Amino acid sequence: MEVIICPDYDTLSRKAAAVVADLVREKPRAVLGFATGSSPVGLYRELIRLHTEEGLDFSGVTTFNLDEYCGLPGDHPQSYRYFMNENLFNHINVPMERTHVPSGTEEDWRACCAEYEQRIVEAGGIDLQILGIGSDGHIAFNEPGSSLGSRTRRVYLTKQTIEDNSRFFDRAEDVPTSAISMGVGSILEARTCVVVVNGANKAEALAAAVEGPVTSMITSSALQWHPDTRGFCDEEAAAKLTMREYYDWIAAQREGDN
């Protein structure tokens, strides 16, 4: 994984968004994978700015989101469909019919998950997947212990994830206990992964993902197997990286090459 350490959240958001924007310019019909949560919000703000101020065109793009809470309809304020509409889709020119978020309300969730995977295949696969990392090192809702070969499925959330996400709900008991999520194996099929990580509370998780062993207990560590993953983090999230000097040296060499 390439690690790009930025001085602050705004800088990492801009740099990560630039990777997305470059792809969309080079491949107007790109397939983008999106994530929810607080980490990618700055990236989405920058994509909106690039669209409104610089004409970045999303009209040919297709999108797939990582996950959705079970039991929440798309118009629920805490659903991930609602989140994406409010934080990105309603502010750019992507056709809404080409934006895909797993359904959390289908009774036959197995068929729904299989169909979601098939839609990704039919779209040509995901060119670039945006990811965040949970405080326990998970990606999407692939909680500790998830198979590193897992596919889109229903998952039950850990107590830690429920506690972490309770800040978005009126009460902790309102947080759904399960979700539909792309699996680790599904995520690793994206051609490029862009990971955004910020804050001191993510420092241990980032260090484990980048420098620790590949293990199902830290599902983000599977990104070490991916041939093109770029991790953008701020100084606080980088605090526990033991190879910090080397990452900075690589960044300096890349700037020199450019």
- Domain residue ranges of the chain, discontinuous segments joined by +: 2-257
pLDDT at 70 over 90: yes
pLDDT averaged over every residue in the chain: 96
Identify which has the larger pLDDT, 168 or 236: 236
Note the pLDDT tens digit of each residue in 91-107.
999 999 999 999 999 99
Which H or E run includes 19? helix 9-26
Q: List the strands of the sheet with 153-156, edge to edge.
A: 67-69, 178-181, 153-156
Two tokens, residue 188: 């690793």
Helices (H), 181-243: 184-188, 203-211
**Average pLDDT of 32-56?**
97
- Would you place residue 203 in the very low, low, confident or very high pLDDT band (cuts 50, 70, 90)? very high
pLDDT exceeds 90 at position 168: no
CATH classification code of 2-257:
3.40.50.1360
Q: Which SS3 state, helix, strand or coil, does residue 84 take? A: helix
- pLDDT for position 102: 97
At residue 179, what are phi and psi to the nearest 5 degrees?
Answer: -155, 160
What average pLDDT score do residues 205-214 get? 98
Residue 89's pLDDT band, with cuts at 50, 70 and 90, is very high
Measured between alpha carbons, how far is 39 from 36 in angstroms, rounded to an integer? 8
Beta-bridge partner residues of 31 = 62
Tell me what the mean pLDDT of segment 49-56 comes to: 98
Which range (9-13, 45-49, 137-141, 167-171) has the least confidence? 167-171
Q: In the chain, what percentage of residues exceed pLDDT 70?
A: 100
Residue 258 binned pLDDT confidence (cut-offs 50, 70, 90):
low
Q: Which residues are catalytic?
A: 67, 136, 138, 143
The stretch 4-13 carries a mean pLDDT of: 98
Kindly state the average pLDDT of the residues 153-172.
88
d(CA 92, CA 112): 27
Confidence of residue 240 (pLDDT cuts 50, 70, 90): very high
Q: What is the Cα–Cα distance from 191 to 133, expressed in whole angstroms?
A: 19
CB contact at 8 A, 105 and 119: no
| Statement: residue 165 has pLDDT above 90 | no
